[in-house]
Structure 1
């Protein structure tokens, strides 16, 4: 075990490590990267403290650290950054493409979004962390971002405590998600050629055949889906879902490809653990994180992904239509800031059709990912480090929350026609 270990190099820099899994931590790699960061911010002689940030459900592909850099000659001169590295195992090569995708988002997409927002007041802007340093070389994958905690942003602990987001929080997330999506529509309007070239670089990666075969994620998706089916009480519905499951990744690929009505740069993994919140008596803000799955596709994919993972069926029954209104109104308001008429870029009729068409996708995402959202504290060690570790996890017999959430979403999918649409329209027509 490596705990609070201080490592000195020839430049009298020190590394104070506070971590319990040294086999997944490359001290030299981090040390060299932090040295480069310190040089960028004008600190030559320094020491730094490393604190692991990975907790329940926080990250399954990368290790996250907070690194505080302190000037040894000037006590008041310091900086804090967030470091993201792939784990130092065979999984590092496996998830290289995901790391590369996120780095490309910070290098190509977010700079354009920041440029677009230069004309806005701070309160209207979509927040993004600044990228301090990135590397995509095999075996040296690293991403260093500004520590948004210094600006008052922090993660919600509701997932860790198995609590649902309240209505105000859900509304805030959908408002900001609409603004995030609107940036693509504005970008397309302002620089059509640049946008056209860039969108082709961000086709879906998560369900791409080559990536699935290389990463073994196909096995993870199939096993997660099967785990959900084991607790589905409705026998006939279970049979229909098993039929769908034989072509699961092909169907997921169908739903995440661009459609003919409207497409934007979507987050791709929009749920509460990929969002930072800033709350005070006078303002509520948020900041999206973790862009490994960013894809160019229909915005409704992000909406249903978030709602089906981070709210339950009863919540959606009560608030779904109103939340769609809130999203669309926020989209319209943000586009208006740039003199864009929403009816010319994404009519309400087309939006409603897209959300309805994506309800089956929301069901599938829930049946795959609810095992993560509802995992117990006993699963934490197995979950740390990589999604591949999940292949070894069975369903805890006492996980009643998982059982309830799965059956709730299945009953909802029967009511709203998502299951019949999957079988009659998608599965049959494609295969």
Structure 2
């Protein structure tokens, strides 16, 4: 389905970008690559031809996101998620971004419940990391710098407004990912549990008893931790800080040495402690074997960047997030990131082509995999795909080291 924009709306987009004296010549909307690109949305390019006050013609492209066509039983929940993101882009995200000189999000030119029009970051040279390129220290630093800028903007905005974002937006920042009532997340939790049970290292009666009888109880606190905290400082958090939600500019063809980054996809935003964004970034983007080294380095880098951002706004960090309190929050809330990463391994970490093949050749199997059960597919992949087996067993071992001993 192609998005619909009126000529008046296109003129308003052009005037927001170029100034009030422009006139619209024409506009066109084209699909990106002619195929669906997103999980919750379809992507298009808007082309505008305009004339400024000096009769000079200007051409500009913009990025369009619209909701994907949904089945009847999905329309309510997923439609609300899209609407949430649209209101965030045109509302609080635009409001707080004015407090930072760091560009951490794309500019939004128009947002309705059924469409979001953003600046075209690709035209400016931004790209996602190519498939197969593992995040390096430079990628993590830029990601954490963006997160710090977003969090600092949130603190500054609240100081100016004299009230919290949580009290302003309330249930408009509802949970869209880590919740038991969400079929895709619950299915992922049970899928990861099946992989745990299949790991050769955990075949003893004691381990199997924990996995089968205590596992769900052990992760239960995460469902409350995702909410606004009464113990730790809260900020507006991105809440899905993995590399596919970051676009980079790089000075080399392999994208190994990025110079700039921008966060995208804000549908999972919540008002919660910043530790959740930071630990999510580490769990989602660093391999189990590197986390022991990366954890302290990432925490220190983030805190340094947050300090710098707040200093530029004449805000003392120790009055809002003291270092010791930040470390305490990261340790206390790490279960959220640990569980979310576990679910992600059962979805976005599948071997290349597996998901696409299910969608194209066995829609019924894909529908079951998405919201009913992933056990059969995951166990089959672990048996047949050595690389995926190695990755999943590394993740399950890391998970058990944290959860089981506690």
For residues 15-164 of structure 1, the aligned pairs below 5 Å read 26-27=1-2, 30=3, 32-33=4-5, 35-40=7-12, 41=14, 42-52=23-33, 59-69=38-48, 77-90=58-71, 91-117=74-100, 124-136=101-113, 141-157=114-130, 160-161=131-132, 163-164=133-134
Aligned pairs, number: 373
Superposition pairs for residues 1-16 of structure 1, below 5 Å? none
- Which residue of 233, 243, 247 maps to 1:276? 247
Q: CA RMSD in A?
A: 3.2
- Give the Å deviation of 1:145: 1.2
C-alpha distance in 2, partners of 1:179/1:268? 14
Q: TM-score, with normalisation over the residues of structure 1?
A: 0.76
In the alignment, which residue of structure 2 is the partner of 1:8? none
Q: What SS class does the counterpart of residue 59 from structure 1 fall into?
A: coil
User: Is structure 2 residue 230 aligned with structure 1 residue 262?
Assistant: no
In structure 2, the residue matched to 1:229 is 196
| Secondary structure class of the residue paired with 2:62 | strand
Give yes or no for the alignment of 1:350 onto 2:317. Answer: no
1:188 and 2:158 correspond: yes
SS at 1:197 equivalent: helix
Distance 1:387 1:265 in 2: 33
Structure 1 191/233 Cα, relative in aligned 2: closer, same or farther at 3 Å?
A: farther
Q: 2-side partners of 1:53 and 1:318: how far apart? A: 42
In 2, the alpha carbon distance for the partners of 1:198 and 1:115 equals 18
> For 2:301 and 2:147, how far apart are their aligned partners in 1?
11
Structure 2 CA distance for aligned equivalents of residues 183 and 279 of structure 1: 25
Q: Where do 5+ consecutive residues of structure 1 fail to align?
A: 1-25, 118-123, 422-431
1:293 Cα shift? Answer: 0.6
Q: Which residue of 2 aligns with 1:406?
A: 392
Is the Cα–Cα contact under 8 Å of residues 204 and 257 in structure 1 kept in the other structure?
A: no
Q: Distance in 1 between matches of 2:35 and 2:219?
A: 28
Rounded Cα–Cα distance in structure 2 between residues aligned with 1:350 and 1:221: 32
Matching of residue 171 in structure 1 with residue 141 in structure 2: yes
Change over 3 Å in CA distance of 1:356–1:132 after alignment to 2: same
Match of 2:370 in 1: 390
Q: Deviations over 1:350-392 (max 9, x none)?
A: 1111111123223212211012332223224246999986347
2:208, 2:6 → 1: CA distance?
52
Separation of aligned partners in 2, 1:283 and 1:89? 36
Alpha carbons 1:135, 1:142 under 8 Å: kept: yes
Contact 1:63 1:86 (C-alpha < 8 Å) held by counterparts: yes
State the SS of the aligned residue for 1:116: coil
Relative to structure 1, the CA distance from residue 134 to residue 149 in structure 2 (aligned partners, 3 Å threshold; closer, same or farther) is: same
Deviation at 1:283, TM superposition (A): 7.2
Which residue of 274, 292, 304 corresponds with 1:317? Answer: 292
Shift of 1:192: 1.9
Partner-residue secondary structure (3-state), 1:164? coil
Q: Provide the rounded CA distance (Å) in 2 between the counterparts of 1:66 and 1:280.
A: 25
Contact 1:70 1:79 in 2 (8 A): yes
Q: Mapping of 1:325-364 within 5 angstroms?
A: 325-364=300-339
Mapped to 2, the partners of 1:53 and 1:414 lie a distance apart of 43
Would you say the 8 A contact 1:62–1:86 is kept in 2? yes
Greater shift after overlay, 41-50 or 172-181? 41-50
How far did residue 292 of structure 1 move?
Answer: 0.6
> Structure 1, residues 79-123: CA drift from partner, whole Å, max 9, x if none?
212121222232333301111211121122112213323xxxxxx
